[in-house]
Structure 1
Amino acid sequence: MKQDEIRKIIKNGENSYIEFKEEGIKPKDLAEEIVSFANSEGGTILIGVDDDGNIKGVSDLLIEEKIMNICRNNCIPNIVPDFQSIDIEGKTIAVVTVHKGLNKPYYTADYKYYIRVGTTKRIASREELLRLFEANGALHFDISPVEDTSIRDLNIDVIRDYFMKYNAFDLYDESNEATERILINADILKEVNRRVFCSVGGLMIFGKEPEKRLPQNGVSFAHFKGTEITDELVDKKVVTGRIQDIAEQLMVILKNNMKTPSVINGLRREEKKEYPSLVLREAIVNTLVHRNYSITGSKIRILMFDDRIEFHSPGRLPNTVTVEKMKIGISYARNPFLVKYMENLRYIDQLGRGIPMILKSMKGAGAKEPLLQEVGEEFILTLYKA
């Protein structure tokens, strides 16, 4: 960074990515700040600036070595930030840039996990910590147990049909004990401390009423007459149930809400689709399979406007996936259970072709290139009308 950049940062004050600290900060406190940035989106710590933005400077000639020692000894896994000394107004400021961590979650030497929220750090909640583990691929929420559930919450007829079709044996020929063991081995059930629960994915694929145990499951659909969310509401629905059933229902809802103008081709009148069916199906299934189900406060949202359809999926992109990587077919299975079973049910493949296919198909239809973006804690796919 240059002097002008630092002056501008100090003038604008602290935010989600900027923290001011004076030279006398304790190693424990500095480690907490560094961990919170690494567990979030990264950020910069200016040492030698007080909370009000007054430049105090640092005098310790060994400050870089001390900061690196803190990052190595007080942050687990160890963190390697960028360090820079900047002279301003005759005083030295230590600039510590912490990158978004690749080995989340990070914690301090006293086993505390911190995240950055606004201008402050705080200890991660259970749900936030779960998402940190998920982000690094160390835990998959879709195979975690759902408390207060049992095999009675599953539709055994649906499971039997699945195994008859793909595994060539009849579940009804098995004893109750053998059936339970089969479902545990298939991750449909989870055994924890000699108790057996349904897994998240088991409920979502084979559950009787998944939304009763997983309120985040399902999709909110809204159709607006216009191009803004404040325009007249044409249709509104909440779709719940098993995710394969949700996908089918959503296809019907979207088609019923689309106009189907026709064109004359020779002597025949042909319907001209606003959005290719294959694209809609891929967008729906992608959103259902890859959302972050550990975020319990919201459902998937699909918003239809006169000029576009937006697919809002709770959760940021997992692991090291980026928008640019998605465009060339590089993906990461946040929910491998859902991916495996939806693939077996012929809803998807695991080749990462979903987004490239959507981009290619919409281009072929003469539409504006779909927009892929992370906004806050959501991933949004926007399809523009052909």
Structure 2
Amino acid sequence: MTARELLEIIANGENSALEFKRENIRPEHLAEEIVAFANFEGGTILIGVGDDGFIEGVQREDMEQWLMNICSHNVIPSIIPFYETVQIEGKKVAVLKIPKGPHRPYQTSAGKYFIRVGSTKRLATREDLGRLFQLSGMVHYDITPVPGTGEKDLDMTRLRQYFLEFNYFDILEEPPEQRQRILFNADILSREEERLCVTVGGLLIFGKEPARHLPQSGIAYARFSGEDITSEIMDKKEINGTLPDVVERCATIVKDTLAVPAQIRGMKRQEKDILPPVVIREALVNAVVHRNYSITGSKIRVFRFANRIEVRSPGRLPNTVTIEKMKIGTSYARNPFLLKYMENMRYVDRLGRGIPMIIRLMKNLVGIEPGLEEKGEEFWLTLYLGD
């Protein structure tokens, strides 16, 4: 990094990826900043710069070793940052670049978890920790119990059909204790203290009214007259139910809005789909199976614009997954329970072919590759419509 580049960075002030610190910061306090960045998207700490951007510089000769010791002993698990010094106006600024942690969540040696929020850090809440552990693959939210639920919240007819088709026995003919044992071993029930409760996944696949206990489930659908969200809303629906029901109902709604242009060739009228039904279905299945259900404040949102369809799913991509990896078929099971049961019901496979298939079909149909991007705490899939 050059002195000019560093001056420009300092002039823009602190932000979600940049923090200023004086040289006299205590190791335990610096470790908190490092942990917050590692638990977020990474970031840079400039040591020798005041909060107001005034360049004070650093004096200690062992700065690099001191910082590496903090990253090794005050951060758990330890991390390896990038370090360099830059000379500015006769003063030396230490630049510590913290990578996005591959082994999240990170904590300080005092056992505290921090996350980055805007230009500051804060202690992680229980919900924050749940997301971090889920991203790391250490905890799968879809098999956590939902307090206050029980067998009464399961659709026994749906359960019976599933077990008859895939396990070849009638679960309703089993004695109550044996039935509970089977459902527990299948991760449909889980223990919350001394009580058996339905899991998140159990409700989403077999629940009578999943949205009653999981208001974040389901899909919020809206159709707009124009090409942006400020356009007039022509239709608006909230689609709730089990995942198979939600996918089927939303797919039908979207397909009904797509005009099917017809061409006369010879003596026959040939119709052409403006959007293949398999693409709609795959996009919706991908959203409901892979969204982050620990984010309780929002549903999956499907927006139908005049020129495109957007599927916005709560939750960033897991640690090891990138958009480029998704394009070539890399698959990651954020919700392995949901993936397993939706695969058994023939809604999905584990081969990671969904996104590559969508890309290929859409490029062949309209000549435009679908949009795949992370925006804030959401993942957006955009399907562009042809003329």
TM-score normalised per structure 2: 0.99
Q: Deviations over 1:251-276 (max 9, x none)?
A: 11011111122111221112222101
Structure 1 stretches of 4+ moved >4 Å: none
SS of aligned partner of 1:45: strand
Q: Is the 8 A contact 1:367 1:384 kept in 2?
A: no
Cα distance, 1:176 vs. partner?
0.2
2:183 paired residue number: 183
2:18 equivalent to 1:52: no
CA distance in 2, matches of 1:366, 1:24: 59
Q: Deviations over 1:300-344 (max 9, x none)?
A: 000011110000000001121000000000010100000000000
2:93 paired residue number: 93
Q: Deviations over 1:21-63 (max 9, x none)?
A: 0000000100000000000010000000000100100000011
Name the amino acid aligned to 1:121: K
2:168 paired residue number: 168
1:210 paired residue number: 210
Name the amino acid aligned to 1:26: R
Alignment of structure 1 residues 1-386 onto 2, 5 Å = 1-386=1-386
Name the amino acid aligned to 1:163: F
CA distance in 1, matches of 2:29, 2:288: 40
Cα distance, 1:193 vs. partner?
3.1
CA distance in 1, matches of 2:293, 2:367: 31
Cα distance, 1:107 vs. partner?
0.2
Cα distance, 1:240 vs. partner?
0.2
CA distance in 2, matches of 1:96, 1:49: 12
Name the amino acid aligned to 1:369: E
Name the amino acid aligned to 2:272: K
SS of aligned partner of 1:102: coil
Q: Deviations over 1:183-242 (max 9, x none)?
A: 000000002333211000000000000000000001011111111111111111100010
Name the amino acid aligned to 1:226: G
CA distance in 1, matches of 2:135, 2:186: 24
SS of aligned partner of 1:309: strand
SS of aligned partner of 1:146: coil
CA distance in 1, matches of 2:180, 2:62: 62
CA distance in 2, matches of 1:230, 1:177: 55
CA distance in 2, matches of 1:304, 1:367: 19
SS of aligned partner of 2:311: strand
Cα distance, 1:366 vs. partner?
3.0
Cα distance, 1:89 vs. partner?
0.5
Q: Is the 8 A contact 1:367 1:385 kept in 2?
A: no
CA distance in 2, matches of 1:283, 1:367: 18
SS of aligned partner of 1:221: strand
SS of aligned partner of 1:145: coil
SS of aligned partner of 1:332: coil
Q: Is the 8 A contact 1:85 1:95 kept in 2?
A: yes
Q: Is the 8 A contact 1:142 1:201 kept in 2?
A: yes
Name the amino acid aligned to 1:86: V
* Root mean square deviation, CA, Å: 0.8
Q: Deviations over 1:98-135 (max 9, x none)?
A: 00000000000111100000111000111111100111
CA distance in 2, matches of 1:255, 1:40: 38
TM-score normalised per structure 1: 0.99
Q: Is the 8 A contact 1:141 1:294 kept in 2?
A: yes
Q: Is the 8 A contact 1:223 1:303 kept in 2?
A: yes
CA distance in 2, matches of 1:103, 1:360: 34
SS of aligned partner of 1:343: helix
CA distance in 2, matches of 1:225, 1:266: 35
Name the amino acid aligned to 2:227: T
Cα distance, 1:367 vs. partner?
3.5
Name the amino acid aligned to 1:37: F
Structure 2 spans left out of the alignment, 5+ residues: none
Name the amino acid aligned to 1:16: S
CA distance in 2, matches of 1:193, 1:118: 37
Q: Deviations over 1:127-175 (max 9, x none)?
A: 1111001111111100001011111111111101100000101112210
Name the amino acid aligned to 1:55: I
CA distance in 2, matches of 1:367, 1:226: 21
Report percent identity of matched pairs.
Answer: 55
Q: Is the 8 A contact 1:319 1:332 kept in 2?
A: no
Q: Is the 8 A contact 2:224 2:306 kept in 1?
A: yes
Q: Is the 8 A contact 1:204 1:210 kept in 2?
A: yes
Name the amino acid aligned to 1:323: I
Q: Is the 8 A contact 2:366 2:384 kept in 1?
A: no
SS of aligned partner of 1:158: helix
CA distance in 2, matches of 1:20, 1:265: 69
Q: Is the 8 A contact 1:304 1:310 kept in 2?
A: yes
